[in-house]
Amino acid sequence: MTKWPDLDYLSWRETCSALHLYLQIAGKYRLAHTPWLNHSWNATFYVTPSGLASSPIPDGPGIEILFDFREHKVVGSSGEGRTASFALEPMTVADFHAKFVELVFYFIDTDLIFFFFFVVHKISSSKYRRMRLEFVTIESRKKLFLS
């Protein structure tokens, strides 16, 4: 019987926290765009040989999100056969969110859809933050990201 390798949490806790927040962003998108199932099973990610994956999300042509830990990237693929990706590298949660929004919009070609973004607020001098889910149209998103 082989022994599992030791995982030193202290050496990778910041990476773990960032990955947790990245998965929450992708999970909230999935939660908002899939039919509800008991206990939020519609928002889970599944373990794959290369990382974590969603099942197809019925938004636009159908989008599947893969966190590829072997290649260190986030990959989106659609039912039409198109793929897009960005590097999974050290970045702020805000930068990840902006890249994730662009990834999703690569697959969707309409001005009528709604998307979400997180607004992160500092709570006084505390290190804790809270997030608010907001829905915006593509046109108002352009104003936010281009101004």
- Check if the beta carbon of residue 69 is closer than 8 Å to that of residue 47: no
C-beta neighbour count of 79 within 10 angstroms: 13
Contacts of 26 (CB under 8 A, 6+ apart): 45, 54, 65, 67, 74, 100
* Residue range 102-119, pLDDT digits in tens: 898 888 764 434 444 444
Q: What's the whole-model pTM score?
A: 0.71
* Residue range 30-85, pLDDT digits in tens: 888 888 877 777 788 999 999 999 988 888 788 999 999 999 999 999 988 999 99
117: left (phi over 0), alpha (psi -120 to 50) or beta: beta
The domains of the chain are located at 11-146
Give SS3 for 92: coil
